[in-house]
Amino acid sequence: MNYYYPIPHSSVMVWLTVGRYGICIRVYSRYGEPFIFNSGFNLEIEVYQLDRDTLYITTGGKARLIHDFGIELTGSIHGSIERTVPETGSFVSNSIKRSVGTEFIYNKTDLYFNPASGYEIGSQLEYRYRSNREVLAGQNPPSDITSAGVDGALYFDMSPKIVAAAKIKGWGVVSANGSVPVDDYRYIGGINDLRGYTEEQIPAYRYLIFTLEPRLITGKYDRVYLFGDFGLIKRAPDRDVDYTFKPGYGFGLVSRSMIGQLKVEIGWGDEGFPSEAVFNFGILGRF
């Protein structure tokens, strides 16, 4: 679940995320408010702790500097440091990680939080350096890891109230000087990635997700919709490990509220209906 609190008489906001695997606190300058120090930049600071059941616990912090270029293009650069400690009996190595990365988003839509037409393109690139403090026998964890991601979305207004939305999103490790351990994978599932599954449930060395969403527009910032997510997930770097297909589908709604843009979804994964549904809830969720 996501909660956020705007600090009165300032452009600062506090965002708290609580989930099955941990807690995250973000402090950042609100989008659309005056830039920090009138410099043309916004700042986001994040502190988090993740507990991956019997595998490992990661504690870290991240700082992101964001700039709006004023031509529908937004760019950011971030740096982070985190420590990963294995659980008792786990095969994960004790390590300290330092990362630097950049992200660009080109948004050409008619309305940021509830688009009916237009498109959006994004890209991400990150370099991570690992200091492996303790290496288990038989393992060869890397010290250098580079990952990259791309995504794009299209919106078609079929009628004044009907919108067809499509999105494609991919991410993966592109280079490493060793066998990439599971604590450097991207965990997907939930409201931001592959819906119909528990939040950040599925470890992925690489993945590609295609989404279709027919939408009924009920207000300027409101909509109800059906969704279908279709994911291809590679769970290990080995060449003989194939991609696994994971579908997700369900329905949801987005509505403007006093606490921000509210997003609620109910979905099912590969076991399908009428198996137990997964409920997702978020603030300021967007697609």
Tokens of 274: 């009428």
pTM of the shown model: 0.84
pLDDT value of residue 14: 56
Q: Which domains does the chain have, with CATH numbers?
A: 2-283 (2.40.160.50)
Note the pLDDT of residue 273. 74
The residue ranking higher by pLDDT, 144 or 93, is 144
pLDDT at 87 (0 to 100): 85
Lowest mean pLDDT among 97-106, 160-169, 238-247: 238-247
Which candidate, 114, 111, 83, places its Cα nearest to that of 253?
A: 114
Lowest mean pLDDT among 57-61, 197-201, 272-276: 272-276
Residue-level pLDDT at 34: 42
Average pLDDT over every residue of 99-112: 94
271 or 2, which is more confident: 271
Cα dist. 144→82, 105, 186 in Å? 15, 26, 16
* Sequence-separated (6 or more) residues with CB below 8 Å from residue 70: none
Give the span between the Cα atoms of 195 and 155, in whole angstroms: 19
Query: Taking 80 as the threshold, does the pLDDT of residue 141 lie above it?
Result: no
User: Tens digits of per-residue pLDDT, 183-207?
Assistant: 899 999 888 889 888 877 889 999 9
Q: How far apart are CA 264 and CA 280, in angstroms?
A: 6
Q: Has residue 232 got a pLDDT over 60?
A: yes
The average pLDDT across 224-230 equals 96
Residue bearing the bigger pLDDT, 109 or 274: 109
How far apart (Å, rounded) are the C-alpha atoms in residues 13 and 139?
42
